[in-house]
Chains A and B, each alone.
Chain A
Amino acid sequence: MVEILRHGWLLARKDLLVEFRSRTAILSAVVFTVLVLLVFNFGRDPTAVAAVDLAPSILWVTFTFAAVLALNRAFQLELENQALDGLLLAPVSRASIYLGKLVANLIFVAVVEGVGLPLFALFFNVAILPVLGPLLVVIALATVGFVAVGTLFSAMTARTRFAELLLPVLLLPFMLPPLIWAVLATAALLAGRPLSEATAWLRFLAAFDLVFVTLAFLLFPATVNE
């Protein structure tokens, strides 16, 4: 168990080092996030639509795009020089490979979200500080949900022809439920509603994460074994 964690972290570190040395993907993701927020901001008539009505959807659209961007590049690293074969031959379990990818993807998306959330609060004049705790929980749970499923699927789509197109299509039905729950919970929190209203959605998010992270660990070996 400890081995899996240790190897997983080593693999995640490798991915993150590669990523942050070149910095291209993270910069594009951040720039894209800012762009989306700006467009939404200018696209709305402030007298007609209150920011707080639109805000949850805008926030989650931004985060979703960032997640898909991260996932698309997740296994592409391994396609060059047949690095994936090297990885599979290494004395690490399949579980640690998945864990490593998952953690690397989560950190990538977390960085983008970390930039996006304050900008979002700034541009849309939304008071997130009073609900910051619960909001971060919602964001964390939803992100884990779609990154877990996305990491599993990207292992499968990486070697197909239209990988970048196929991954979002496959992911869509699996992203919709957590996305909807996250938007509903965020809307409840930002509107100042009592915490109890958001807990139903939080429970769904937690259950989803539990089921699909477990499923992903169980199914990942089937995607890489010959």
Chain B
Amino acid sequence: MNLLKAGRWITALGLVLLAGVYVRALAFTPIERTQGVAQKIFYLHVPAAIWTETAMILVGLASAFFLFLKDPRLDRFAEASAEAGIVFGSIVLTTGPIWGKPIWGTWWTWDARLTLTLLLFLMYVGYLLLRGAVTDAGLRARYAAVLGICGACLVPFVHLSVIMFRTLHPQPIILKPGPPSLPAEMLVTFLLSFGVFTMLYVGFVMQRYALSLLREEAQHA
């Protein structure tokens, strides 16, 4: 399978480059003044978060197009993107609290991004559970698409309302781990990490898509 081989190579390359990013982030990037070493979590956490949300948007788009075009390739892609999304979501939800504890003094806060990521994660879980619970392939694809579209439509509501919530109720924290203007070396590390995460998303989706194809072939055999 060409797709599978390409996916494997891309993933492997991505993992090797990830090691490179680790080295660069830990040894060759300056330590941030106020947050210290813990700030370096940023280089993993933010790219993962960007891809968690992007993967969901792609699931939503693929789902919408699937209901119109009925092309099974879109459904396979949605499934693959959802799995990748849940993987990256797990990274965000573990590294987030680990970063928050030393910096904010608390494991969790109903900050806009964490709340959104938690809801996204729950949507991914629901999406994959629904797929697992429906045995008929055609039905499964349609149901998943319905859920995917609803999920993608929920995201803007959560984004807007949690931001509002934040401004009405002051947060019990001082610092916000947002990226203001970064010094050059930090920016480069961040961009390299984002590139690696992108590569990993692509590699994962390609392999997962190929897996769906293999399973379908096995069923028809």
A residues near B (Cβ < 8 Å) are 149, 152-153, 156-157, 159-162, 166, 169-170, 172-174, 176-177, 180-181, 184, 200, 204, 207-208, 211-212, 215, 219, 222-223, 225
Contact of B145 among A169, A212, A222 (CB under 8 A): A222
Tell yes or no: B119 within 8 A of A by CB: yes
Of B20-28, B80-88, B126-134, the one touching chain A:
B126-134
Interface of B is mostly: helix
Q: List 17 A-B contacts (CB under 8 A).
A: A149-B150, A153-B147, A156-B130, A156-B147, A160-B134, A162-B133, A166-B129, A166-B130, A166-B133, A169-B125, A169-B126, A170-B130, A173-B126, A200-B168, A204-B161, A212-B150, A222-B145
Known contacts A204-B161, A222-B146: does B133 contact A215 (CB below 8 Å)?
no
B143 with A156: CB separation less than 8 A: yes
| Size bracket of the B interface | 20 to 34
B119 in contact with A211 (CB, 8 Å)? no
Choose one: B125, B153, B157; the contact of A204 (CB below 8 Å).
B157
B67 and A211 contacting across the interface, CB-CB below 8 Å: no
Evaluate contact between B153 and A211: CB separation under 8 angstroms: yes
Residue ID in chain A nearest B146 by CB atoms = A219
A152 x B119 contact (CB < 8 A): no
- A223 and B158 within 8 A (CB): no
CB distance from B150 to the nearest CB of A (A): 6
In the bound assembly, the distance between CA atoms of A162 and B130 in angstroms comes to 10
How long is the Cα–Cα vector from A225 to B153 in the complex, in angstroms? 23
A170-B146 contact, Cβ under 8 Å, with A200-B164, A222-B67: no
Chain B: minimal CB distance from A70 (Å): 19
Are A172 and B122 in contact, with the CB atoms below 8 A?
Answer: yes
Chain A residues in 8 Å Cβ range of B146: 152, 156, 219, 222-223
